[in-house]
Amino acid sequence: NAGVMQNPRHLVRRRGQEARLRCSPMKGHSHVYWYRQLPEEGLKFMVYLQKENIIDESGMPKERFSAEFPKEGPSILRIQQVVRGDSAAYFCASSRDTTYEQYFGPGTRLTVT
Amino acid sequence: AQSVTQLDSQVPVFEEAPVELRCNYSSSVSVYLFWYVQYPNQGLQLLLKYLSGSTLVKGINGFEAEFNKSQTSFHLRKPSVHISDTAEYFCAVSVGRRALTFGSGTRLQVQP
C-alpha cells in the first residue's frame, strides 16, 4: 500500500509566480490535511479537506493561498504571486474515516527566489 | 484551543543509554496524543498514538509513551537508543479528527 504521495518534491519559483503543490492520499483515505514547516519553526496547520469540501481553513492565509480536493485526482495547494516568505516545506497528511491518526507525505520544499 | 510544549529543544545522549523526551499539553477538551519522528529532509513518521485505554502505549522502533492526565503529559521513552534514532521528534495533539497541533520539536542527538 503506497504511502501519501506529494509532488513535486522540490519546487523553485520566482517572486510573483504561482506554485501548485499536489498530494495523493493513501488508498482508502478521504481526509487530507496541509501543514507548513517554516525554517527553524514547527509545523503549522493550514487546511483540512474532504472530497470536494473544505472542512477547516483556519490556518490558511486569507490571500494568495487556496486548496482543493476534487472528486477525482489529487488535492492541490495553490499559492499565487509567491513571496520569499512562502519558502518552506509543505506537508500533506491523510487519514481514513475509521481512524484519527494522520499519515504524512515526504513534503514539497518550495524555494522562492 | 490546544497547545503543546516540548520542554527540551535538544537532547544529547550516548548510544545505548535510555532517553526521555518530554511533552506537556494544554486543552479544555479531551484530546488524542501522538508522537512523530522526522529524519532530515523527510516527512513525519508516526511513532505511536494514544486514543483511549491503557495509558502506556508502545510504538515502533522500541519507543513507548505514557499518558498522564493529571499532569497533562505524554512523555516519550526508549530504554536504549541507537545512532539511527538521531532525528527530530514532535509531540502533537488533536481534537477528534481535526488538525494536529504540534510542539516545537526536540532534536535527539545520539553520540557514539
Q: What is the DSSP letter of B60?
A: G
Q: Which residues in B lie closer than 8 A to residue A106 (C-beta atoms)?
A: 42-43
Cα Rg for chain A, rounded, in angstroms? 13
Residue range B3-31, pLDDT digits in tens: 999 999 999 999 999 999 999 999 988 89
Cα distance between residue B4 and residue A38, in whole Å? 18
pLDDT for B41:
84
Q: Which residues in A lie closer than 8 A to residue B90 (C-beta atoms)?
A: 42-43
pLDDT tens for chain A, 113 residues: list them.
Answer: 579 999 999 999 999 999 999 999 999 999 999 999 987 778 999 999 998 899 999 999 999 999 999 999 999 999 999 999 999 999 999 999 888 899 999 999 999 99
pLDDT for B1:
86
Angstroms from A25 CA to nearest CA on chain B: 14
Asked if B86 and B110 touch (Cβ cutoff 8 Å), the reply is yes
Strand partners, B110: B13
Strand partners, B7: none
Kindly determine whether residue B102 and residue A95, on different chains, have CB atoms separated by under 8 Å: no
Closest CA to B22 of B89, B95, B79, B83: B89
Grid cell in block for residue A29: 483515505
Burial of B23 (0-12, 13-18, 19+ CB in 10 A): buried
Question: If you average pLDDT over residues B73-79, what whole number do you get?
Answer: 97
Asked if B66 and B20 touch (Cβ cutoff 8 Å), the reply is no
Residue range A34-52, pLDDT digits in tens: 999 987 778 999 999 998 8
Closest CA to A102 of B10, B70, B47: B47
Closest CA to A113 of A39, A16, A35, A37: A16
Q: Which residues in A lie closer than 8 A to residue B36 (C-beta atoms)?
A: 104
Cα distance between residue B111 and residue B69, in whole Å? 33
Grid cell in block for residue A100: 484519527
Cα distance between residue A50 and residue B61, in whole Å? 32
pLDDT for A1:
56
Asked if A23 and A92 touch (Cβ cutoff 8 Å), the reply is yes
CA distances from A77 to A7, B3, B50 (A): 11, 26, 30
